[in-house]
Structure 1
Amino acid sequence: MKKTLIILIVVLLLCLSGCLDLTIRREREDPEETNPKQTEETTPAPATIPVIETTPVPETTPEPTPDPNAIVFDGITVRYDVFEEEYRHPDDDAVLLLVAQVQNATVEIPAYPAAAALINDTLNIIRTQDMNSVEAMRVESKGEYDEWGDEYFYAPYEWQSAVEPIYVSGRVICFRVYDYMYYGGAHGGVALESYAFDTRTGDYLTLDDLCSDAELFRDYLQTRIIDQIEAVPIGDRMFFEDYAMSVVSEFSGAAWIFQNSDGDEVLIVNYQEYAIAPYAAGLPEFIIPIADCIPYFNAYGQSLFQGS
């Protein structure tokens, strides 16, 4: 029995082996054998993205736009402000009563901000005074027109004022204040003032501050002025006959202005209209070099103009 079972197992194994061999041979002889080239899977090449090399642009800070109303002198910025107005009659817009223009200034001194604040306090006072003058002319021009109408109101009133820095150094800034006013009539009038300041302290400067003996210096200036008048031929002089006395008596109302004229530092003394000369002479002007004034200055005054 065991032998029979073993024989059956051997026969089965032989049959299975023959079937497996037949299957393998059929696969090899199949005419529709696939071309390996056709079945070979291909991996598409990756798309090439061009690399653009860029040069980094450095960040730049835009330059500030210059202020058209500002001027810089020796580290001091003077900034202007302007008020303009055409004032018309409240009841008749066709009637122009007043034309006004007020130019003032403020200063910036980064090294001495406290000094700048003091100087600006004075400039603000000047601004307020000018605006008060404009308001007074509004009232007066309207009253004049309401009383007389077109018969005697020939032209609008005018007010023009300007604050200008005439001399600026590391130690001194000097402003000229020019006021023009017209109230009708043949012509207007002009008034001139000056304001000098120490740019480090903001102090307003007077002759008493600058001089060892202010009265002696005034006498010196008056003598120089009379000498300049008398240097003009008599026929060409446009001064009152008593000019020698009026030069002295009107000196307190004169404007004395430090100025850099063609590279030379000078002191200019301007008398007011009608003070020592007729209207046609304008504002008589006399020039004295600062170098000639230095001997009359005290140590503080000399330090302002000699850099010591």
Structure 2
Amino acid sequence: MKKKLLGLLFVFVLSLSMLPIGSAQASVMWGKTELKKGQIGKATLLNNSQLWTYSKDQKSLVEIRKLKKGEEYRVYTFKSDFGGLYGVGGGAFIKKSSAVKYETPSKVKLQALGVTLSKQTFEGSFNYPQVEGLISSEAQKKINTAIKNHMDASYTSLLKLEEDEFAHREDYYNEHGYDVPADEEYRFSYEYDVSYEVKYNKNNLLSILIYDYMYTGGAHGMSTVKAYNFDMLTGNQISLTSTAKSSSALTKMKNYAKADLLNQNKKIGMIFTDSLSSITIDNNRPFYFYDNGVVVKFFEYEVAAYAAGMPEVKIPYSVFK
């Protein structure tokens, strides 16, 4: 009895995992279905069919349940056994036959699931990302060049800061006749660092934030952020105005951001509420994509105290589209 109950439970769980696809909200759509990583194709039933699994001795197939005409299933593997089997996950298969239409996703669809990024090091100082394996080698070159150019500018700033630190230490020695003492080292120990975040990588969109941090003595350093949003098919950068598409849409985004920052102030404080009327939402505003819209970022001290970092506002497409 116990074995029978366990068997029924297995079939129930398996049947849930094998439900026809297309009913949930998808991030990368392939027709009416959602494309998943690891998927090699999809099977559409042209007539009623069956879902199978291997018998315990692997020498035959055991029917799991009936399948209905019109249902679609993700295919993850293909086996040549029994005339051909489309693996739909969970050890379940659909037999290759005239009752089944099999399709493979296009390169564009596969790329939309997310591209590969490798971590590189610039002059032994900064880590930065580079994209690999894009459909378009020209698009890949555009993206990688834009990011590498940022690293080149950051490295130039690092060298300049090192020169400034040396000059200021030398000025101190000339003025006092001795090197900077330990209790004043913090004033002359300059730092420059670069870091990045990959914020979005799907739907043939790539959003990367690059942070440049500089410390020149004092209570703390300062960071700036540069947002890079790319169309992975062309390599072109995407601006906020091209995403909003109209001045009225930008105004809606601004009003939404102001209201959201006021709500943030109620929860955590630190927002400069008197400055919110002067915020700008334009192509100088860092932003990145998420599944249902964009996220705009504000710089340190722009709308909040230093302790608040760089506040963000998530703006759904429904607000401005």
Interval of TM-score (by shorter of Structure 1 and Structure 2): 0.5 to 0.7
Mark the runs of 5 or more structure 1 residues left unpaired by the alignment.
Answer: 1-71, 86-100, 296-308
Contact 1:104 1:163 in 2 (8 A): yes
1:150 to 149, 168, 180: 180
How far apart are the structure 2 equivalents of 1:115 and 1:235?
43
- Please give the secondary structure, in 2, of the residue aligned with 1:257: strand
| 2:236 alignment partner in structure 1 | 203
Provide, for residues 199-233 of structure 1, a one-character-per-residue CA deviation record: whole Å limited to 9, x for no partner: 011111112333431x2222111111111123356
Q: Is residue 2:249 matched to residue 1:225?
A: no
- Please give the secondary structure, in 2, of the residue aligned with 1:82: strand
| 1:269 alignment partner in structure 2 | 296
For 1:276, the aligned partner's letter is V
Q: Is residue 2:193 matched to residue 1:160?
A: yes
Q: Decide which structure has greater helix share.
A: 1
| 2:274 alignment partner in structure 1 | 242
Judging changes above 3 Å, is the alpha-carbon distance between structure 1 residues 211 and 284 closer, same or farther for their aligned structure 2 residues? closer
Provide, for residues 155-210 of structure 1, a one-character-per-residue CA deviation record: whole Å limited to 9, x for no partner: 62111112332111142111111111111111111111101111011111112333
Contact 2:143 2:230 in 1 (8 A): yes
Contact 2:270 2:305 in 1 (8 A): yes
How far apart are the structure 2 equivalents of 1:240 and 1:287?
19
Comparing 236-245 and 173-182, the one that deviates more: 236-245
1:122 to 137, 142, 146: 146
Cα RMSD (Å) of the superposition? 2.5
Judging changes above 3 Å, is the alpha-carbon distance between structure 1 residues 205 and 116 closer, same or farther for their aligned structure 2 residues? same
Contact 1:254 1:272 in 2 (8 A): no
- Please give the secondary structure, in 1, of the residue aligned with 2:154: helix
2:113 to 74, 78, 86: 74
1:290 is displaced (CA, Å) by: 3.8
2:213 to 180, 184, 195: 180
Judging changes above 3 Å, is the alpha-carbon distance between structure 1 residues 192 and 110 closer, same or farther for their aligned structure 2 residues? closer
Q: How does 1:37-116 map to 2 (within 5 A)?
A: 74=113, 76-83=115-122, 101-116=125-140
Judging changes above 3 Å, is the alpha-carbon distance between structure 1 residues 254 and 211 closer, same or farther for their aligned structure 2 residues? closer
What TM-score, normalized by structure 1, do the two folds share? 0.59
Contact 1:145 1:153 in 2 (8 A): no
For 1:77, the aligned partner's letter is T
1:247 is displaced (CA, Å) by: 2.1
- Please give the secondary structure, in 1, of the residue aligned with 2:236: coil
Contact 2:214 2:222 in 1 (8 A): yes
Provide, for residues 229-272 of structure 1, a one-character-per-residue CA deviation record: whole Å limited to 9, x for no partner: 23356585312242332323x7664311113xxxx544111100
1:281 to 291, 308, 311: 308
Contact 1:246 1:276 in 2 (8 A): no
| 1:136 alignment partner in structure 2 | 160
For 1:142, the aligned partner's letter is F
- Please give the secondary structure, in 2, of the residue aligned with 1:226: helix
Judging changes above 3 Å, is the alpha-carbon distance between structure 1 residues 132 and 269 closer, same or farther for their aligned structure 2 residues? same
- Please give the secondary structure, in 1, of the residue aligned with 2:170: helix
Mark the runs of 5 or more structure 2 residues left unpaired by the alignment.
Answer: 1-110, 173-178
Contact 1:253 1:272 in 2 (8 A): no
For 1:74, the aligned partner's letter is L
Question: Which consecutive aligned stretches of 4+ in structure 1 deviate over 4 angstroms post-superposition?
Answer: 232-236, 250-253
Provide, for residues 31-84 of structure 1, a one-character-per-residue CA deviation record: whole Å limited to 9, x for no partner: xxxxxxxxxxxxxxxxxxxxxxxxxxxxxxxxxxxxxxxxx9836221111247
- Please give the secondary structure, in 2, of the residue aligned with 1:201: coil
